[in-house]
Structure 1
Amino acid sequence: MKLMKMVAGAVAAAAVMTTGSALAQQYPDRPIKVVVTTVPGPLDAFARAVVNQMSQRLKQPMVVENKPGAGGNVGTDFVAKAPADGYTLLFALDSTFTVNPSLYEKMPFDVNKDFAVIGVPVTYSQMLAVGPNVKANNLAEFLKLAKSSKMAYASGGNGSPSHLTMAAFLGTTGTEMVHVPYKGTGASVVDVMSGQVDSVFAVTSGIWPQAKAGKLKALAVSGSQRSASAPDVPTVAELGYPQFNATFAYVVAVPANTPKEIQHLLARELAAAMKTPEVMEFNRTADYAATDLNPEASAAWLRDTRKRWNQVVVQAKITN
């Protein structure tokens, strides 16, 4: 009886492998759904630029659907529960995988078990800016002012990259400021320009054009390297805090049990799309840094980053 069960199990496993291989050989033979976990904006624009190139190579339409909500959990959960056949692809903010497990008391999915990571194709930093009327022209002056008076900072929402970056910055520099969350980074930047709030961390593409126009003052960059778009703006690390590095990314993933052959194909096509002139120009304009990380290295990046942000969330007492 035991031998019969072992044989039956082996036959079933072989059948699954055969089915997966057959599926991979035919793949793709119909349109692929691409779930973007935000409203139209930076992630959506990046996803569309990339899948346009992938679609041409795969010779199948790739249809983008925006499913925002709960810090990316809504769209990500949809993909977690989708058939694992390669026809549902996720484009998400890395914070859904690296921050939300610490921020939300209960998650609808397991970031470690429910997904196969296809890639972390780009990373990006945040730029610290103050309004034109704030009497600080560099980071040292800003910190001196913040420690001697009551100041406020805007963010794109609780647990957003702009919020997390400032929380990490305040913890690193031993500074306290009042948090003013907005429903989106765009609105937060507008209110800093108008003087309603003192400061904000936001993506370079949202800050630098306004700084060049004199509507904001750019003080520092959160990543370990200066922005290619604004090479004259120093990093926080350069200005006396060498360990500071707040970097974010985009994640491409599929349901966990998607056949390995399909995972490898999608990873290969993602890498090829990233090297096209169109996507490279998009990344240059958006100030995104291509990573060239393979799926295994991408998954490791997410695990390491999750540990770092967990410390920030706990120390800053950030709650959902």
Structure 2
Amino acid sequence: MRCFITCTLGLLICLLSSTFVTAQTSTYPNRPVKMIVGFPAGGAVDAAGRTMAQALQKSLNQSFVVDNRPGVGGMLAMQEVARSSPDGYVLAVGSAGPLTVSPTIFKNANFDPRQSLSPIIWFVNNPGIVVIRKDLPVNSIAELVQLSRTKQLNMASAGTGSVLHLMGEYFQDKMGIKWMHIPYKGSGPALLDMVAGRTDVALDLIPSAAPLVKSGQLRALAVTSSKRSPALPDVPTLTELGYEGLEMGSWMGLLAPKGTSSESINKLNAVLNQAIKDPDLVTRVSNSGGELAGGSPQDFANLINKDLNRWAVIINRLNIQPE
């Protein structure tokens, strides 16, 4: 009899616990959710975070508050989220740099997003673009590669170890060429010096470079996206020019601490997948040169893993150290 009572109580506790968890999930979120951004307000990552927050707040009738916590290229914010309770009330607005570059450069931080964060959705993609100073005597990627083999060209980047630097190095590897790297403190100064004729070539992001291309201050030879950009429809993709395996860029997405329930993650994923179908948002992002992504949490996990491995090879080969 005692055994029967014990077993019955145990079963009852399990059933009650299961019911409690289900109730928690079905009412999630029932209080404000914090979305931590590792960069200052006003930048691209912040803008993506606020766009997601607005969509989630509208659909779920709950506050989603963006909290900017800049530091160490955004990685401190990712680590803070990783240490948070996995209840869905602290989320990370992550981007390519802190999630796929910094973990290899800052080895002592012992931060691996695959082990400490759960991807929710890949929200937006900013493809790359190959731009040159307007008077460089080439008109195609093939001519650029040929000139690079006979003359020492230099490449501007947003800084040593930045995603844009690694994109440029990856491009050189694939093409079998070598440029002299000139790092700047950000994409803006790098592109402006190219406009002034001080540098030859750069791999940058379409949203940053498109205004200078449209105004004739720089020339674009190709984009690194899978299809042509509505922002620059006359610029071909590297793929259509016959150069495979060069789809790359920067991106932003939403993540939660490891251990967050799949029900909460899937609820957020479904809302944001619906949000990216909004025609006004699609037009606004595509006209700037970006691409709304979407997909499953696993799609985002696959992207993070692919870029972590791709950039680690280049970082280790060049022995890039923290600045």
TM-score (norm 2): 0.87
Change (3 A) 1:140 1:21: same
Q: In structure 2, what is the equivalent of residue 3 of structure 1?
A: none
1:87-108 CA-to-partner distances (Å, cap 9, x unmatched) read 1121111343333333322234
SS at match of 1:237: coil
Q: Confirm or deny: 8 A CA contact 1:20 1:259 kept in the other structure.
A: no
CA distance in 2, matches of 1:136, 1:202: 18
Q: In structure 2, what is the equivalent of residue 216 of structure 1?
A: 218
Q: In structure 1, what is the equivalent of residue 89 of structure 2?
A: 87
Q: In structure 2, what is the equivalent of residue 37 of structure 1?
A: 38
Instruction: Decide which of 209, 212, 230 is 1:228's aligned counterpart.
Output: 230
SS at match of 1:231: coil
1:166-197 CA-to-partner distances (Å, cap 9, x unmatched) read 01011111211222222221221111111232
- Deviation for aligned residue 1:58: 1.4
Change (3 A) 1:124 1:8: farther
Let me know the Cα RMSD of the aligned residues. 2.6
Q: In structure 2, what is the equivalent of residue 207 of structure 1?
A: 209
- Deviation for aligned residue 1:109: 3.0
Q: Confirm or deny: 8 A CA contact 1:24 1:261 kept in the other structure.
A: yes
Q: 5+ residue gaps in structure 1?
A: 1-5
1:257-291 CA-to-partner distances (Å, cap 9, x unmatched) read 22332212111112122122342223222323333
Q: Confirm or deny: 8 A CA contact 1:91 1:250 kept in the other structure.
A: yes
CA distance in 1, matches of 2:321, 2:12: 49
CA distance in 2, matches of 1:243, 1:23: 44
* Range 72-81 or range 174-183, more displaced: 174-183
Q: What amino acid is the match of 2:27?
A: Q
SS at match of 2:114: coil
SS at match of 2:119: strand
CA distance in 1, matches of 2:10, 2:262: 20
SS at match of 2:252: strand
Q: In structure 2, what is the equivalent of residue 280 of structure 1?
A: 282
Instruction: Decide which of 151, 154, 166 is 1:152's aligned counterpart.
Output: 154
- Deviation for aligned residue 1:240: 4.4
Q: What amino acid is the match of 1:85?
A: D
1:42-83 CA-to-partner distances (Å, cap 9, x unmatched) read 222122122212111111222212222223211111111122
Q: What amino acid is the match of 2:33?
A: I
Q: In structure 2, what is the equivalent of residue 196 of structure 1?
A: 198
Q: Confirm or deny: 8 A CA contact 1:165 1:201 kept in the other structure.
A: yes
SS at match of 1:226: coil
CA distance in 1, matches of 2:132, 2:33: 43
SS at match of 1:268: helix
TM-score (norm 1): 0.88
Change (3 A) 1:143 1:108: same
SS at match of 1:158: coil
Q: Confirm or deny: 8 A CA contact 1:222 1:245 kept in the other structure.
A: yes
CA distance in 1, matches of 2:269, 2:17: 22
Q: Does 2:75 match 1:76? A: no
CA distance in 2, matches of 1:200, 1:296: 32
Change (3 A) 1:287 1:20: farther
Q: In structure 1, what is the equivalent of residue 3 of structure 2?
A: none
Q: 5+ residue gaps in structure 2?
A: 1-6
Change (3 A) 1:35 1:244: same
Q: In structure 1, what is the equivalent of residue 263 of structure 2?
A: 261
Q: Confirm or deny: 8 A CA contact 1:167 1:316 kept in the other structure.
A: no
Q: In structure 1, what is the equivalent of residue 177 of structure 2?
A: 175
* Range 195-204 or range 301-310, more displaced: 301-310
Q: In structure 1, what is the equivalent of residue 308 of structure 2?
A: 306
Q: What amino acid is the match of 1:89?
A: L
- Deviation for aligned residue 1:7: 11
Superposition map of 1:51-70 within 5 A: 51-70=53-72
CA distance in 2, matches of 1:237, 1:296: 25
SS at match of 2:268: helix
Change (3 A) 1:108 1:311: closer
The count of residues paired between Structure 1 and Structure 2 equals 315
CA distance in 2, matches of 1:124, 1:222: 10
1:119-166 CA-to-partner distances (Å, cap 9, x unmatched) read 112323111111223333322332233333332211122222211110
SS at match of 2:204: strand
CA distance in 1, matches of 2:10, 2:258: 21
